[in-house]
Amino acid sequence: MENYEGAYRQRHRDTEVLHGVDRATAAMHLGGCAVECLLKAMILAQIPNPNQRQWHTEENPQPHGIKRPNHDLQEALKQYRKLYDRALKDPQVLKWFNAVEFPSQHFIDLRYSDTEPSPEGYKIWWDAYTKLCRWLEKQKTQL
């Protein structure tokens, strides 16, 4: 079984290490993975019955009907209605989501990239990533 919360903590630390050694493309890729893991942990945590904290599939239908959002951060956000409603109240949050998900291309596709972003582009991404992680961590304690 996936441990999204633990994976988030590991990928977040990895991202910080990569940031510290100027490995921007790898940091952006793993940073997107970190946010993806945190969102998935939050989505499943909202399901009241711990026995149903798994994704709804045809093979394993769940009463909550929540399907795995794959690597789509915007779709994952929409699957947690309360969190999505809070994000809609602050347009800056949606900009952070977009910046983390699509720094130059989709964050998952960066695993195949052999180029580093411009310093300005990376600074924008890092700022969005750190603010988004702080915002999500805060929401996790309030929802």
Q: How far apart are CA 53 and CA 65, in angstroms?
A: 11
User: pLDDT-derived band of residue 129, with 50, 70 and 90 as boundaries?
Assistant: very high
User: pLDDT-derived band of residue 143, with 50, 70 and 90 as boundaries?
Assistant: confident
Q: How far apart are CA 37 and CA 137, in angstroms?
A: 12
Backbone angles phi, psi at 67, to 5 degrees: -95, 150
pLDDT at 82 over 90: yes
**What is the per-residue pLDDT for 75?**
92
Residue pair 68/55 in contact (Cβ under 8 Å)? The answer is yes
For range 101-110, the mean pLDDT: 96
User: pLDDT-derived band of residue 90, with 50, 70 and 90 as boundaries?
Assistant: very high
Q: Mean pLDDT of all residues in the chain?
A: 95
The residue assigned the tokens 């079984």 is 1
User: pLDDT-derived band of residue 30, with 50, 70 and 90 as boundaries?
Assistant: very high
Residue pair 60/51 in contact (Cβ under 8 Å)? The answer is no
102: containing domain: 4-142
Domain count, the chain: 1
